[in-house]
Copies of this chain bind each other. A is one copy, B any other.
Amino acid sequence: MKTLEQKILNEGTVLKGNILKVDSFLNQQLDVDFLMQMGEEIKNLYSDTEITKILTIESSGIAIAVAAGAAMHLPVVFAKKSMSANVAGEVLTAGIHSYTHGNDYTAIVTKKYISKTDKILIVDDFLASGEAIRGLLEMVGQAGAEVAGITCAIEKGFQNGGDDLRKRGYRVESLAIVESMDESGIVFRK
């Protein structure tokens, strides 16, 4: 998505530790009109695929998942990172390591919101090591549902997550793939 690549070049900052900071439109402030355009792009990418539900993980995945859900007229389910009064009954869980926060957590989804007949599109803001996606795939597997695809706004192509998932046969469509980045600039995959 050329407009996203341009936005990353204009507004993104590369920080130490392979961090691409895009907090002006995706991770702290949300450029909602642009977010809705990303949702339309996701709809177009998967227009040939039957999808019944979108799955993401709190909290920065929620905004882009809602944008995709609005474009596709599909419900969104978001995995939680801790138990709360709103999670009750049987649950699906997966242990996930966060490289951003440097900790481990258990992602949780109420079991009844993913059924065997669902065709799930997994949506997140970033795809780097693929650790969060791995956890979401584990939960979809527990539910016996089908994975229709995996999409994210920004894939860090120089980490292994996205390409590993492609090798495993998943249809991964990222709106922008950063091939390399450092203080001198950001290069996107052609």
Contact with B along A23-52 (1 / 0, CB 8 A): 110011111110110000000000000000
> When the two chains form their complex, are residues B28 and A85 in contact, meaning their CB atoms are under 8 A apart?
no
A170 to B87, CA, bound (A): 32
Question: In the complex, how many angstroms separate the beta carbon of A96 from the nearest chain B beta carbon?
Answer: 15
Question: A66 at interface (Cβ–Cβ under 8 A)?
Answer: yes
Point out the residue from B15, B35, B75, B86 that lies within 8 Å of A21, measured CB to CB: B86
> When the two chains form their complex, are residues A66 and B27 in contact, meaning their CB atoms are under 8 A apart?
no
A148 to B28, CA, bound (A): 21
A124 to B48, CA, bound (A): 35
> When the two chains form their complex, are residues B28 and A110 in contact, meaning their CB atoms are under 8 A apart?
yes
- Per the CB 8 Å criterion, the residue count for chain A at the interface is 43
Question: In the complex, how many angstroms separate the beta carbon of A69 from the nearest chain B beta carbon?
Answer: 3
| Chain A facing B: main interface SS | mixed
Question: A152 at interface (Cβ–Cβ under 8 A)?
Answer: no
- A87 neighbours in B (Cβ, 8 Å): 23, 28
A86 to B31, CA, bound (A): 16
Chain A: residues with CB nearer than 8 A to chain B?
15, 17, 19, 21, 23-24, 27-33, 35-36, 58-60, 62-63, 65-67, 69-70, 73-78, 80, 82, 84-88, 100-101, 109-110, 113
7 A-B pairs besides A24-B113, A29-B76, A60-B86 with CB distance below 8 A are A21-B86, A28-B113, A32-B74, A35-B70, A62-B66, A63-B76, A84-B101
Cβ contacts A to B, 25 pairs, < 8 Å = A15-B88, A21-B88, A23-B86, A24-B113, A27-B86, A28-B78, A28-B80, A28-B113, A29-B77, A29-B110, A30-B62, A30-B77, A32-B66, A33-B70, A35-B66, A58-B58, A58-B59, A59-B62, A62-B62, A63-B63, A63-B66, A63-B76, A66-B67, A84-B100, A86-B100
